[in-house]
Chains A and B, each alone.
Chain A
Amino acid sequence: MISKSSVPFWRNERVLQVLGQVIFFLLVFLSGYYIYSNMLVGLQKQGTTLGFSFITGLAGFDIGESLMEYTRESSYLQAFQVGLLNTLFVSGVGILFSTILGIILGVARLSANFLVNRLAAFYLELMRNLSLLVFLIFWYLAVFLKLPKVKEAIIWPGQIFWTNRGIGIPWGIPTDSFPAYCWILFFSLLLAIGVGYGLYERGRRTGRPPLTLLWMALTFLAAAAIGWFALPRPPFEWNFPYVKGLNLSGGKIISPEFMALTSGLVLYTAAFVGEVVRAGIQSVSKGQVEAARALGLNGFQTLHLVIFPQAMRVIVPPLTSQYLNLAKNSSLAVAIGYPDLFYVSSTIINQSGRAVEMIALVMLTYLAMSLLTSAFMNWYNQKIRLVER
């Protein structure tokens, strides 16, 4: 038996580990301190100090698109919020549509139809090997800005205007019966939840789960439609876009920047989602499909009740990282001039000269968004994971 004292401390593993960590910590801390002090000196030379007090100052620049009240008299903080809202909006819309398109592509890639299969494969190969930034710029400059002028707009049936100033679509304007209709929508939602709960209970009792979500949606739509016609006058009035001088007016005008960014992100991300979906479906063993057919389930039931629930477990983790990629890639808006979080922040940097604070703020915001999304998707993944006895 070796007594403790016989091992000299420089050979004692526990001492070495602690010592190693202390040295590592000191190294990191000292280089961090060195960088920090250099930065302070540098900032002093520029005549500024660190601090966030500037953020309430006057912004003094315009932002093309905003989901909230914003003028050039607003503060930097409000400008930042506008950017954040735009980023969240683009990410949300992008995630929704890229999921839908991705699932279609993934299923099409596995289709028994030769032509559909090859077409999907071609699309996936084409998109996955493009550089997203180059594609976005091409999409914006060479497609959306090359649409005809307002005077020569392409008009699709239903008064949809395609022009290089934006895409005009008909839009509803709330009338005086709109508040009443909000209540109707609220009660429709309650009704739908009630129906859903009833079906869920019945499914549990009988062991034959019905298409709960479908029936819930149908109930909601039916109640909403009845409410629409029951009111003395419709809650919305159609407002159609029209040409006024050199611009579009009326309806809803979607800017080319927003269209190019969102559709570009969707087209690109959908290819990756499609690969994820394909891998997920292929991970379900063939025996499962055969067993489902042997039990008498039809094609749709097999997909809905057997394949998708199992494929989801494989799909969710990589899908999460695709969603996160989309949210982070939306910062490429800076290249085509859509005022997202990053673009607005770089304008703020130019206006106020506060690079350090703004970059820290931007990074923290993106980090928080990423962590929240991961947390949500992890929770969902836990929920659908295989419950083993």
Chain B
Amino acid sequence: MTEESLPPLTERLSALRWLRQNLFSSWGNSLLTVLAAWLLWVSGKSLLIWTFVDARWQVVAANLRLLLIGQYPAEQAWRLWISMLLLIFLTGNSLGLWTKSRKFLAALAIFPLALALIPFEMEQRLWLLGLALAGALGWLAGHSAGARTSSRSGTSRAFENVVIVGWLIWIPIFILLLRGLTLEGEGWMPLVTTNLWGGLLLTFLLTIVAIVVSFPLGVLLALGRRSELPVVRWFSIGYIELVRGVPLIAVLFMAQLMLPLFLPAGVTVDRVLRAAVGITLFSAAYLAENVRGGLQAIPKGQFEAAYALGLGGFQTMLFIILPQALRLIIPILVGQFIALFKDTALVSIVGLFDLLGIAKTVLAQPEFLGYQREVYAFISLLYWVISYGMSYLSQQLEIALNVGKR
């Protein structure tokens, strides 16, 4: 550090000059400004009036539980809260461990508390408080473990492994809690059949299962497409191109109508499972193409260096190539997962009660017949907030983890 470089000089503009420069620099520009301002005024005004005056939001308030968890029995809802507690604790752990930014601590604590401002009942508010606490505690635990690790000590390595294993076992725990531990409808944690899973819960579940299962499938397909064995290569190419050429709804129909036909007589597959299979098979083909893009970006020297060190083909892939390729495509993968989340709405066409499907049943109730605008606006908002949140989080994570700068 011999000399400090000063930032370049910036111009300070007065408000009037700023206006002049950015909005009214020429005749054409002024015209555009006026046009845009008019558009903003007209659409913004009617939107605000509708939102705060005309819209009858009581339909959403009356059906909030239905929209969020479907017909899942209310007295069993504590299982969902427990899974959420575990989820937010793990999230806090990971964020505290791998990023140094305090922004995430604040977000984890504030977000559930903000939700508690919505007029829920006392019980839900207590759970939300618990969520905030779990998130903050998780972050603090992860952070204190991560703080000791500037020199990458053994304990932090162990802690990292614990967090990774935690993520892996969270999913089966979530599904088990959701489903119940007994075979019949009795006992401490009775069975809740899948036809009662619905609303945002089902949307989330389908997304998570599809991501987790289609990821390894996609990696395998991508490797198969680059394989030197022609049979494997042509199989992968055929699968990827076939699936990418047809719409998801056709795949879902096939899964609903034809999966039972493909299996031996007497074997029945749950409807939710069929939809999950369809989405997974569909998304695997798209993931494979993304992974292939990452693989192609790895220079040949990496392979040669790995071979020179005496690693075999399998080891080279697993320890040298894949970690680099996957890190390159993290933003693309997140985009893919967001698209997957938005696409799960299609299962409502084949008769499942996900967020969109349950919205249709809400609107079928006689007392809420003409409320399409309010209900669909609400679930659009939910989809939007979650998708935008995911992409925002991934951008922040990229900055925090320095993905682009390695």
Contact = CB atoms under 8 A, between A and B. Distances in A.
Interface of A: 17, 20-21, 24-25, 28, 35, 38-39, 41-43, 45, 111-116, 119, 125-126, 129-135, 137-138, 141-142, 145-146, 328-329, 331-332, 334-335, 342, 346, 349, 355-356, 359, 362-363, 366-367, 370-371
A39 B372 contact: no
Contact of B261 (A25, A39, A113, A363): A39
B247 A329 contact: yes
Contacts of B342: 129-132
A113 B32 contact: yes
A151 B253 CA distance: 40
A334 B249 contact: yes
Interface stretch (B2-10, B82-90, B153-161, B225-233): B225-233
Interface in B333-349: 338, 342-343, 345-346, 348-349
A162 to B, nearest CB: 16
B192 to A, nearest CB: 26
Contacts of A38: 261-265
Cβ-closest 4 pairs across A and B: A367-B245, A114-B22, A138-B376, A129-B387
B262 A35 contact: yes
Given A41-B265, A137-B376, A359-B257, A129 B388 contact: yes
A118 to B, nearest CB: 9
A237 B33 CA distance: 40
Contact of A116 (B25, B36, B261): B36
Given A137-B356, A359-B257, A366-B245, A113 B23 contact: yes
29 contacts: A17-B228, A28-B235, A35-B262, A39-B258, A41-B264, A42-B261, A112-B29, A113-B22, A113-B36, A114-B22, A119-B36, A129-B384, A129-B388, A130-B384, A131-B343, A131-B383, A133-B345, A134-B345, A134-B376, A142-B373, A334-B349, A342-B249, A355-B257, A355-B261, A359-B258, A362-B250, A363-B245, A366-B247, A367-B242
Nearest to A132: B342
Contact of A135 (B40, B247, B254, B380): B380
Nearest to B371: A142
A74 B268 CA distance: 37
B384 A126 contact: yes
Nearest to B251: A363
B265 A45 contact: yes
Nearest to B360: A137
A112 B25 contact: yes
B274 to A, nearest CB: 14
B114 interface: no
Nearest to A141: B372
A370 B244 contact: yes
Given A331-B249, A370-B244, A130 B380 contact: yes
A130 B25 CA distance: 35
Interface of B: 22-23, 25, 29, 32-33, 36-37, 39-40, 228-232, 235, 242, 244-250, 253-254, 257-258, 260-265, 338, 342-343, 345-346, 348-349, 356, 372-373, 376-377, 379-380, 383-384, 387-388, 391
Contacts of A119: 36, 39-40
B376 A141 contact: yes
A361 to B, nearest CB: 11
Contacts of A129: 338, 342, 383-384, 387-388, 391
A21 B230 contact: yes
Contacts of A342: 247, 249-250
Nearest to B249: A331
Interface centre among B33, B40, B261 (most CB of A within 10 A): B261
B380 A131 contact: yes
Nearest to A115: B36
A25 B356 contact: no
A45 B261 CA distance: 10
A84 B228 CA distance: 39
Contacts of A17: 228-229
Contacts of B261: 38-39, 42-43, 355-356
B243 to A, nearest CB: 10
B229 A21 contact: yes
Contact of A355 (B33, B235, B258, B343): B258
A24 B250 contact: no
Contacts of B248: 328
Contacts of A112: 22, 25, 29
A17 B248 CA distance: 35
A356 B257 CA distance: 8
Contacts of A135: 380
Contacts of B338: 129
A320 to B, nearest CB: 12
B249 A142 contact: no
A84 to B, nearest CB: 14
Contact of B380 (A125, A134, A349, A367): A134
Interface centre among A24, A129, A141, A359 (most CB of B within 10 A): A129
A349 B249 CA distance: 15
Given A130-B384, A342-B247, A24 B232 contact: yes
Contacts of A43: 261
